[in-house]
Amino acid sequence: MASLQPRFLTLPLIFIIIIISSSGHANAVPRVTFPLESPGRPFTLFTLPDVYNTTTLLLSDDEETLFVGARDAVLSLNISKAGSLQLSKKIDWSPTENDLRDCTMKGTTETDCPNFVRVLQVLNSTHMFACGTFAFSPRCSYISSEQFSLAASPSGKTEEGRGRCPYNPYHKNTAITVGGELYTATVADYRGNRPVISRHLSEGDHVDMKLDDTAGWLEDPTFISSTYIPSEEKVYFFFSEMGREYDFIDKFTVSRVAQVCTSDVGGQRTLQRRWTTFTKAQLLCQARDELPYNVLQDITTLRPSEGASEDDTLFYGIFSSQWSVNSGRSAVCVFSLRAIKAVFAGNYKVLNRDTLKWSSRMQEKIANPGECGLHNASDNALRFVKENFLADKSVSPANQGLTLVSPDQRYSNIAAQRVKGAHGREYTVLYLLTESGYLHKAVLLEGRAHIIEEIQVLRQPQRVKNLLLSVSKGAVLVGSSEGVASVPVSNCSHYWSCGECVLARDPFCAWDPTRRVCARVSSIKDQAGQDVDGGNVSKVCNTFTTLVPRGRGSIVTGAPPRVLVSVFLKEVVRLRCVLSSQLAQLRWERPGGELSPDIYMQEDRGNLSFLATPTTLGTYMCQAVENGFTQTLVVYEVRQKDDFTLRPTSKSPTRIPEPGRETTTRPKIETTPNAIEKKPTMEKTQKPTLSATVSPVGPNATHAPADGSTNMPQLETRTSYLKELVAVSVLLVICICALLLVAAYSLRKSYRSRTVPRLPSLHRDPGTTEGGTHQEREALRGNSPQLDKHNGQKSPNTPSNGVSNGSNGHLPNIPI
């Protein structure tokens, strides 16, 4: 279905198309994701404590200053240094207490009553012009460029803002200045029911202009953007509105482009002070055999290359769909100025003023609608123009299809630029801001788009945002309620090897073989390694010395890290490997054997789990395959623990500590003595995370969670307990010897005590003690002299045997 024409489409056909519609194009997925405050993609955020809703942005002609329209304030920021946002001056511009009280009395919430600056334009070399909602009573003011302060108008009166700025801060509008005149598209009443495209601040023969009040010119529009084409002397407006030419559905939204000539001063009698050159046409963002993306969200102008015709000007727009089949998705379509001019030069539909119905019947052309100079035409020609301002044909995309489709993101803002690659070829780079606060950078290739990266720049989704590109400063400027963010267009140093640099396919970046780093193309003097179109790593990097990754300031070995995992049998082993690229495929391999699904389980996040058995011990390699290039990320050696190694008593799983996290327990995974000890210090998403977890099998066994929160390898040398074991063994031997000596001494003492005779306790002298007489005690000690057995005197001829006399006067017959 090339277009939606009312004479061919019926309501049943719409339902048939919805049912059979399917996507015939590949959805673009960001290759690398950088969360908020990621070290791999830093950016600058400017905030002030008392300034909010910094959503209106304007660059000076020299791109040295950024003007910001905020709530109750206008700011001037110095951006002369790349990546910096410094406050130069601030203008306070807020309603009075009476204005705020009147606003709330109208039923408006207090949060919507401040002055939200929605128009900020440079008029000339001395003055700027600003307009704000001003408590639902729009007002405008001149700003002196030199002093950067509010200035009085030439008439000395307060500048009325109606028709120049919306009443409601949530209503969209657009404004542009040409030759000191202000061209605006907004609503001119409190409720937003009177849309108007007008010209203000005209002088001399030029008069202020606006659309005729006749119904049919605009149908509940939402204004998006405007641009000026000098060669055409026309201002083009882009918006969405209700498509009254389609009568098969009550409310069908269409996207439009409208034009007016800057020389238009209105008719002499018919259309006095009204546009005589206003015409509009439909922008059709639609793929073949699919429903169109019919709601315009944002559009940007990409000027032609130097020396090219201005007809080559391109307009890149973001479109969403009102059809449920495309709900939650966004598409990018590109339209050329040449195609828009061709549609405006063709036939026009006829509006029946009685029924407000459009028809495509052929009739004699009295005038060419949209042609400059119609203000001098006759009344008959002007009446013809008044009824023939909708082009009969739609403007089709330049490539006859969708440039890019986001599968799960809704884009809100867009910016575009041309970038010259390493080999002199030009590429178009798009910057797309999502409603969830991520900035996508995409490069347009032959017939498709490649999203290089996505960067989170906003914490919360925003309703009113602005996106601006500073080519000279190499920064994307984002205005939101959280502040103004300045995001560099590239960060080539994030890619740590030649393979990663080529696979990124970033036109800004190329591999420098001399310094062996990924750097900006403009900084490489010798041959630069880059393949944006194909991303062929082998073709580019094989011409250089080697494909080695890069550390901080030095070249490290290109071999993948090896990690030793010591396990007990019957334990669950979980090996982790997380990819940094979302376009790569993760693959586990084992030398000399296949990974049977009956034994091994590979989880969605890439973790490999299996039970430790004699047959599953060995080497495992985690590999990443992207665009035909395979690289080994990590090698695991799974071995059985020695018998003396104690089992872990903790039920919690163990893993290698992740970068940026501290652990209070000693890791249970060990590496070989010659394992890599140096810890890489690269950013978060530079290399995949490697980790292993060992869990006991049993009723109380727990499995390690598949934590993929980091993408950087962190290898640590595990502590060896051999010295401690030897020390404990020596101490144990010493203790055993000491115990044996004590036991031997005790046995000897016990045996000796049994060989000593005991003295009877009968017939003791009252003067004796319990241990016997003195002589008896001396005899027991072996010092008592031998007594004569008859008279108690010592016998000189009898040797002492160390025992005393018995109670009967005879020695006991005890052998010694």
Nearest to 654 by CA among 708, 574, 717: 574
How far apart CA 88 and CA 148 sit, in angstroms, is 10
pLDDT confidence of 105, banded at 50, 70, 90? very high
465-484 pLDDT, tens digit per residue, is: 899 999 999 999 999 999 99
Percent of the chain with pLDDT over 70: 76
575-585 pLDDT, tens digit per residue, is: 999 888 999 99
Contact 109, 128 (CB under 8 A): no
Nearest to 246 by CA among 3, 2, 1: 3
Has residue 456 got a pLDDT over 50?
yes
What pLDDT, on the 0 to 100 scale, is given for residue 154? 81
Lowest mean pLDDT among 44-48, 248-252, 544-548: 544-548
704-716 pLDDT, tens digit per residue, is: 333 333 343 333 3
How far apart CA 637 and CA 655 sit, in angstroms, is 15
CA atoms within 13 A on the CB side of 622: 30
Pick 13 or 398 by higher pLDDT. Answer: 398
What pLDDT, on the 0 to 100 scale, is given for residue 173? 96
Tell me which DSSP letter residue 437 carries. Answer: S
Q: Which two tokens stand for residue 796?
A: 């000189």
What pLDDT, on the 0 to 100 scale, is given for residue 704? 38
Question: Mean pLDDT over residues 52-80, rounded?
Answer: 95
206-245 pLDDT, tens digit per residue, is: 999 999 877 789 999 999 999 999 999 999 999 999 998 8
pLDDT confidence of 258, banded at 50, 70, 90? very high
pLDDT confidence of 648, banded at 50, 70, 90? very low
Q: Which helix (H) or strand (E) holds 67?
A: strand 65-70
Has residue 10 got a pLDDT over 60?
no
Question: Mean pLDDT over residues 299-312, rounded?
Answer: 93
How far apart CA 76 and CA 424 sit, in angstroms, is 37
- Write down the mean pLDDT value for the chain: 80
Sign of CA dihedral 580, 586, 590, 596: positive
pLDDT confidence of 588, banded at 50, 70, 90? very high
b or e along 489-501 (b: 16 or more beta carbons within 10 Å of the residue's beta carbon)?
bbbbbbbbbbbbb
What pLDDT, on the 0 to 100 scale, is given for residue 553? 35
Has residue 777 got a pLDDT over 60?
no
Q: Which residues pair with 332 in a beta bridge?
A: 318, 404
Contact 200, 178 (CB under 8 A): no
Has residue 56 got a pLDDT over 90?
yes
* Calculated CA dihedral for residues 92, 98, 100, 105, nearest 10 degrees: -170
Domains by residue range for the chain, with CATH: 1-25+171-407 (2.130.10.10), 490-541 (3.30.1680.10), 559-657+666-738 (2.60.40.10)
What pLDDT, on the 0 to 100 scale, is given for residue 82? 81
pLDDT confidence of 677, banded at 50, 70, 90? very low
How far apart CA 503 and CA 444 sit, in angstroms, is 15
Has residue 49 got a pLDDT over 70?
yes
Pick 288 or 127 by higher pLDDT. Answer: 127
Highest average pLDDT, of 537-546, 655-664, 679-688, 772-781, comes from 537-546
Lowest mean pLDDT among 6-10, 74-78, 158-162, 470-474: 6-10
Q: Where are the alpha helices (DSSP H) in 439-548?
A: 498-504, 537-541
Nearest to 368 by CA among 350, 337, 389: 389
pTM of the predicted protein model: 0.77
780-813 pLDDT, tens digit per residue, is: 444 444 444 344 444 444 443 443 344 344 433 3
Question: Mean pLDDT over residues 248-265, rounded?
Answer: 90
pLDDT confidence of 274, banded at 50, 70, 90? very high
Has residue 682 got a pLDDT over 60?
no
pLDDT confidence of 69, banded at 50, 70, 90? very high
Measured CA to CA in angstroms, residue 718 lies from 380, 620, 640, 657, 661 at distances of: 93, 19, 15, 12, 17
Contact 28, 449 (CB under 8 A): yes
114-152 pLDDT, tens digit per residue, is: 999 999 999 999 999 999 999 999 999 999 999 999 998
What pLDDT, on the 0 to 100 scale, is given for residue 239? 98
Has residue 766 got a pLDDT over 60?
no
Pick 357 or 260 by higher pLDDT. Answer: 260
pLDDT confidence of 622, banded at 50, 70, 90? very high
What pLDDT, on the 0 to 100 scale, is given for residue 534? 93
b or e along 431-452 (b: 16 or more beta carbons within 10 Å of the residue's beta carbon)?
bbbbbebbbbbbbbeeeebbbb
Nearest to 691 by CA among 651, 624, 636, 730: 636
